[in-house]
């Protein structure tokens, strides 16, 4: 698995609400101003064709219409009008929750639309020569187009020739340009981005209207969001409860007539609306949209809500070693001299031989020699008379000839052969040191010199993959969440084990091929586990498609992005851990608010049932534990509370319940204690307070 090094800093620590492309859409925090801006959308959603998608709220809408007709029949009935008004507010508030959640993506969508310009494409002829200028909307899959500095890329595709610097701020919000080149894992380009330098030839891979930006616009607006399996299952449960309560209320009237306490249709409708789970029915869609929005805030585009949910249930996490667990470039860790050589002498020779080495490994040798041994950092310009020996795949060495001295640094076999060619002797110490480093999972490089004392090995330079800070703690956190971590690497098993032990992962797959990754994912899935992984190359595409959560890097190929069900615009592989946490937060939020909603209904029994029948059955007055002022006040207080609690919970639905890594049983106990008990207590307090206010009004107390 090859992971391209990110070309810009990750943005997941950006302030809440700051969206890619510079749009501000409210973030994960609740902004009261969104209520006003989203109110027109909430009213438009009163269309029965829209409301019928939520059975619970559709029943509330029908109840609102029924009470409106009944109130119109008796214009002097203030109680009927009050119930009618609050039922309509309940319906609007439910739509408002969804409208606010959807509105949070509008600023992002508007920013993306600005990037969708009607660009002109320079299409090449079938023979690869000659240019034809056509509108970008006429491009088809397989067309070859040319883009130079200043051109806007007309459509999604892969670079097939050349290398260029590209401004992708339109989709990532990051102003730093990125490099796109042919033949690697950074070949994918996105329509609407701008070429800043050089010239590239692009093969178009998508049709107009189906580009990456088009899909982003649909997804962030919620237009393409479909209900997930868990949402569908919960909707079925809520619909079933609604039917049960509907039957209960319908059959209640005959008993009331028999008891001589016939109830009005307005009272029965109020009872039905208060008993069905309106709270979670109103917030369910908003919770799902907000979960996807939290990913967008972290520059992750989820292609479906199903992927976000699956992330919350992931039990196996496949992580690439390079760029995810380690920094991706080997760094010098220590200098180990052979007997007869001092560390300072070895460090000086290693630094000297690395001055012309512009690789990350070479620069790390210079820095280590300077920081640990106090050697002044020298520059090539100071050694104008030196002859620099560049590294080649044939020699596997680099170095410098200066002041009558020849210094070489490279692979053990190559350096040993170089010393022997010059009549030098190789002691056992150098080989032992090299073997010890290799067994520890590092890479040994020998440093040798030829001077007046002859050719000899000075010591061994230890290069190692540096594990990122905090990775062990993050893996411990995942373990507490019940998630198994597997490191994937192309390294040999010895090196892989050393890195796995240092990082603290549960398992590793060494010398991994695309077939090995697929086999591992299928093996885990066969055991009933959900698997998540990251990837950016074409060779990762099969595994990304097979994984339940496949996170493709935006710097990767089109094949990888098409195969995955999420795209990380920052190309930060470690973000997979955050994605899992967001998925769990979505599931916990839905479960917590469902618990709260169902527990809510218990208090409403104690408010409405005694008010309906206490006159006929005085014994029921003992159930009026809230000591509500009057039957009308009790029923109206319950209806008002039922509407207001939806608005009160909108911020929690959008922000999400805070997730803490813990076991499932502890999480269940916590949610039952907090949201179950809270759902029981809150209505008693809220309904009583509303009743006290209503009792001050004439004709109610």
- Each residue's pLDDT tens digit, 123-169: 888 777 778 888 877 888 888 999 988 888 888 888 888 888 888 77
DSSP result, 74-104: -TT-HHHHHHHHHHHHHHHHHHHHHHHHHHT
Q: Supply the pLDDT for residue 167.
A: 82
Residue 5 pLDDT > 50: no
3-class DSSP assignment, residue 531: strand
pLDDT over 90, % of the chain: 9
Cα–Cα distance measured from residue 661 to residue 674, given in angstroms and rounded to the nearest whole number: 17
Mean pLDDT calculated for residue range 433-444: 80
Model confidence over 73-127: pLDDT tens digits? Answer: 888 888 889 999 999 999 998 888 778 777 665 655 665 665 555 678 888 887 7
As annotated, the binding site for ATP includes 357, 361, 391-398, 409
Cα–Cα distance measured from residue 470 to residue 351, given in angstroms and rounded to the nearest whole number: 30
Residue 174 pLDDT > 70: no
Sign of the CA dihedral with 408 first, then 411, 415, and 417 last = negative
Q: Supply the pLDDT for residue 227.
A: 67
Cα–Cα distance measured from residue 646 to residue 577, given in angstroms and rounded to the nearest whole number: 32
Cα–Cα distance measured from residue 212 to residue 202, given in angstroms and rounded to the nearest whole number: 15
Q: In the numeric block, which tokens belong to residue 216?
A: 């982003």
Buried/exposed code over 389-408 (b: 16+ C-beta within 10 A; e: otherwise): bebeeebebbbbeeeeebbb
From residue 588, give the alpha-carbon distance in Å to each of 231, 235, 519.
13, 17, 31
Cα–Cα distance measured from residue 414 to residue 417, given in angstroms and rounded to the nearest whole number: 5
Model confidence over 558-578: pLDDT tens digits? Answer: 777 888 888 887 777 778 788
Q: What is the mean pLDDT of the chain?
A: 80
Q: In the numeric block, which tokens belong to residue 277?
A: 């789970």
Contact (CB, 8 A) for 535 and 1? yes
Residue 701 pLDDT > 70: no
Sign of the CA dihedral with 550 first, then 555, 561, and 563 last = negative
Q: How far is CA 287 from the centre of its chain?
A: 15
Q: Supply the pLDDT for residue 89.
A: 92
Q: In the numeric block, which tokens belong to residue 607?
A: 């408010």
pLDDT confidence of 61, banded at 50, 70, 90?
Answer: very high
As annotated, the binding site for Mg(2+) includes 536, 540
Q: Supply the pLDDT for residue 62.
A: 93
CA-based max dimension of the chain: 119
- Give 467: exposed, middle or buried? Use CB within 10 Å, 0-12, 13-18, 19+: middle
pLDDT confidence of 447, banded at 50, 70, 90?
Answer: very high
Looking at per-residue confidence, does 211 or 416 come out higher?
Answer: 416
From residue 178, give the alpha-carbon distance in Å to each of 8, 108, 195, 475, 562.
7, 21, 10, 30, 20
Q: Supply the pLDDT for residue 684.
A: 87
Looking at per-residue confidence, does 20 or 31 come out higher?
Answer: 31
Cα–Cα distance measured from residue 643 to residue 697, given in angstroms and rounded to the nearest whole number: 20
pLDDT over 70, % of the chain: 84
Contact (CB, 8 A) for 278 and 646? yes
Cα–Cα distance measured from residue 253 to residue 235, given in angstroms and rounded to the nearest whole number: 28
CA-based nearest residue to 276, from 42, 60, 51, 50: 60
Contact (CB, 8 A) for 193 and 179? no
Using left for φ > 0, alpha for ψ between -120 and 50, and beta otherwise, residue 489 falls in beta
Q: In the numeric block, which tokens belong to residue 558?
A: 């089109």
pLDDT confidence of 8, banded at 50, 70, 90?
Answer: very low
Model confidence over 292-321: pLDDT tens digits? Answer: 778 877 888 877 777 888 888 888 988 877
From residue 391, give the alpha-carbon distance in Å to each of 359, 388, 395, 443, 457.
10, 10, 7, 16, 18
Model confidence over 647-662: pLDDT tens digits? Answer: 888 888 888 888 777 7
Full-prediction pTM beyond 0.85? no
Q: Supply the pLDDT for residue 16.
A: 33
Q: In the numeric block, which tokens belong to residue 550?
A: 């496949």
3-class DSSP assignment, residue 183: coil
Contact (CB, 8 A) for 169 and 8? no
Per annotation, catalytic residue among 320, 348, 491, 572: 320
Q: Is 548 a catalytic residue?
A: no
Model confidence over 665-699: pLDDT tens digits? Answer: 787 788 888 888 888 888 888 988 998 888 887 76
Cα–Cα distance measured from residue 356 to residue 485, given in angstroms and rounded to the nearest whole number: 39
Token pair 């006003």 is found at: 36
Q: In the numeric block, which tokens belong to residue 500?
A: 């796995």
Model confidence over 395-418: pLDDT tens digits? Answer: 778 888 988 889 999 888 889 999
Q: Supply the pLDDT for residue 611.
A: 72
As annotated, the binding site includes 357, 361, 391-398, 409, 536, 540
Q: Which residues contact 375 (CB under 8 A, 6 or more apart)?
A: 344, 347, 348, 351, 369
Mean pLDDT calculated for residue range 523-527: 90
């Amino acid at each position: 698995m090859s992971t391209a090094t990110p070309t810009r800093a990750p943005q997941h620590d950006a302030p809440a609400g700051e969206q890619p492309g510079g749009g501000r859409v409210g973030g994960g925090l609740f902004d009261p101003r969104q209520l006003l801006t989203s109110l027109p959308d909430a009213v438009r959603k009163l269309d029965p064709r829209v409301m019928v998608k939520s059975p619970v709220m559709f029943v509330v809408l029908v109840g609102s219409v029924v009470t409106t007709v009944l109130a119109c029949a008796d214009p002097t009935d203030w109680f009927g009008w009050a119930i009618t008004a609050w039922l309509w507010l309940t319906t609007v508030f439910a739509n408002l929750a969804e409208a606010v959640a959807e509105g949070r993506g509008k600023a992002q969508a508007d920013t993306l639309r600005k990037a969708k310009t009607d660009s002109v494409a320079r299409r090449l002829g079938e023979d690869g020569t000659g240019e034809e200028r056509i509108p970008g909307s006429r491009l088809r899959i397989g067309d070859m187009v040319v883009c130079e500095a200043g051109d806007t890329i007309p459509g999604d595709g892969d670079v097939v020739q050349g290398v260029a610097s590209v401004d992708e701020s339109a989709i990532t919000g990051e102003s730093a340009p990125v490099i796109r080149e042919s033949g690697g894992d950074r070949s994918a380009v996105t329509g609407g981005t701008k070429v800043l330098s050089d010239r590239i030839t692009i093969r178009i891979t998508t049709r107009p209207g189906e580009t990456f930006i088009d899909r982003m616009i649909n997804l962030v607006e919620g237009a393409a969001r479909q209900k997930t399996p868990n949402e569908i299952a919960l909707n079925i449960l809520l619909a079933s409860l609604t039917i049960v309560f509907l039957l209960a209320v319908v059959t209640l009237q005959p008993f009331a007539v028999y008891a001589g306490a016939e109830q009005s249709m307005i009272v029965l409708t109020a009872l039905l609306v208060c008993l069905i789970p309106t709270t979670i029915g109103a917030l369910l869609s908003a919770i799902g949209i907000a979960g996807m929005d939290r990913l967008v805030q972290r520059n992750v585009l989820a292609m479906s809500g199903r992927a976000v949910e699956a992330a919350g249930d992931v039990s196996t996490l496949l992580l690439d070693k390079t760029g995810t667990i380690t920094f991706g470039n080997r760094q010098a860790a220590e200098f180990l001299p052979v007997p007869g050589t001092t560390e300072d002498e070895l460090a000086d020779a290693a630094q000297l031989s690395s001055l012309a080495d512009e690789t990350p490994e070479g620069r790390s040798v210079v820095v280590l020699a300077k920081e640990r041994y106090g050697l002044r950092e020298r520059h090539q310009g100071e050694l104008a008379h030196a002859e620099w020996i560049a590294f080649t795949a044939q020699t596997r060495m680099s170095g410098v000839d200066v002041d009558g001295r020849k210094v070489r640094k490279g692979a053990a076999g190559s350096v040993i052969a170089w010393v022997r060619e010059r009549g030098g002797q190789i002691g056992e110490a150098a080989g032992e040191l090299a073997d010890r480093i290799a067994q520890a999972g590092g890479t040994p490089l020998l440093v040798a010199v030829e001077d007046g004392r002859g050719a000899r090995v000075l010591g061994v330079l230890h290069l190692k993959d540096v594990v990122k800070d905090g990775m062990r703690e993050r893996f411990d956190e995942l373990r507490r969440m019940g998630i198994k971590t597997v490191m994937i690497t192309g390294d040999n098993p010895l090196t892989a084990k050393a890195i796995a032990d240092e990082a603290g992962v549960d398992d590793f797959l060494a010398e991994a091929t695309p077939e090995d990754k697929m086999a591992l994912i299928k093996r885990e899935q066969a055991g009933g586990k959900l698997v998540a992984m990251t990837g950016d190359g074409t060779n990762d595409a099969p595994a990304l498609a097979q994984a339940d959560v496949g996170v493709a890097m935006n710097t990767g190929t089109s094949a990888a992005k098409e195969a995955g069900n999420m795209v990380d615009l920052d190309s930060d592989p470690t973000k997979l851990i955050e994605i899992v946490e967001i998925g769990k937060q979505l599931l916990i939020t839905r479960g917590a608010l469902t618990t709260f909603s169902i527990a809510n209904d218990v208090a409403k029994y104690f408010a409405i049932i005694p008010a309906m029948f206490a006159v006929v059955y005085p014994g029921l007055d003992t159930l009026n534990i809230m000591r509500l002022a009057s039957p009308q006040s009790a029923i109206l207080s319950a209806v008002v509370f039922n509407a207001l609690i939806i608005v009160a919970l909108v911020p929690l639905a959008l922000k999400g319940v805070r997730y803490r890594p813990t076991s499932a049983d502890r999480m269940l106990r916590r949610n039952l204690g907090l949201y179950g008990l809270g759902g029981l207590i809150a209505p008693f307090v809220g309904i009583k307070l509303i009743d006290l206010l209503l009792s001050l009004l004439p004709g109610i107390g």
